[in-house]
Each structure stands twice: as structure tokens, then as C-alpha cells.
Amino acid sequence: EAQVTQNPRYLITVTGKKLTVTCSQNMNHEYMSWYRQDPGLGLRQIYYSMNVEVTDKGDVPEGYKVSRKEKRNFPLILESPSPNQTSLYFCASSRDNRHEKLFFGSGTQLSVL
């Protein structure tokens, strides 16, 4: 089954404790992206990757890091989380940069205390 898998589904942490949210897709997609979703603000892009070893900033990249060492994986790293990073996070992938159809993961609800 074609899917984007994110883990964990829920995460509660404290300010400053480094964390990683994993994302994996099984569709051999070139393009992957991370979004955060906040009430009233819609989906905002954090980082994206056009292919292995190619990443770029989205609209709200501050406080986040990503890496794309393998085509299927695109982890999101918060080196020193802060309460304003409490949000619902989605990973997405598509065949290429034209975004004909984005496939989203089920989301990670992060709470930073």
C-alpha cells in the first residue's frame, strides 16, 4: 500500500530537549516536505527536499533541521524545542516538484512544555 509513515503520532517533551520526528515513504517519490498546521493559519511549509541531499527552506524554517540521506526518509529535527513549536506536523511526498498529487502522513501532534 502506498503510504507516508510518520512517527511518533503523539509527542510531549520539555523545552530544550532535542527530538526527531521520522518520515518515510514507499512510493519512490523524489519530493518530500514538512508542514506544520496551526488553528487559523493553515498548513505552512517548514522544509522541503527535491531529491537526495537536496533540501531547502520553506516559509517557517527557524528552529528546525532536516536531512535527506536516502530517498525514502526525511526526518525533522528540533535541536532545542520551544513552546511555540507546539503544533501538528505533517510530512508529505509527491512524485516530483510539480506536486500533481501530494501524499500526506497521518501527522505528529507535538507539545513542548
Partner 1 sequence: EDQVTQSPEALRLQEGESSSLNCSYTVSGLRGLFWYRQDPGKGPEFLFTLYSAGEEKEKERLKATLTKKESFLHITAPKPEDSATYLCAVQALTSGSARQLTFGSGTQLTVLP
Q: In the complex, which residues of this chain contact partner 1 (CB under 8 A)?
A: 4, 33, 35, 40-45, 48, 58-59, 90, 92, 97-107
Residue 14 or 41: which CB sits closer to partner 1?
Answer: 41
Q: How far is the CB of 16 from partner 1 (least distance, A)?
A: 28
Spatial separation of the C-alpha atoms in residues 27 and 85, rounded to whole Å: 29
Residue 3 or 13: which CB sits closer to partner 1?
Answer: 3
Residue 56 or 70: which CB sits closer to partner 1?
Answer: 56
> Cα–chain-centroid distance for residue 44?
11
Q: How far is the CB of 91 from partner 1 (least distance, A)?
A: 8
Q: How far is the CB of 64 from partner 1 (least distance, A)?
A: 15
Residue 76 or 92: which CB sits closer to partner 1?
Answer: 92
Q: Which amino acid is at 67?
A: S
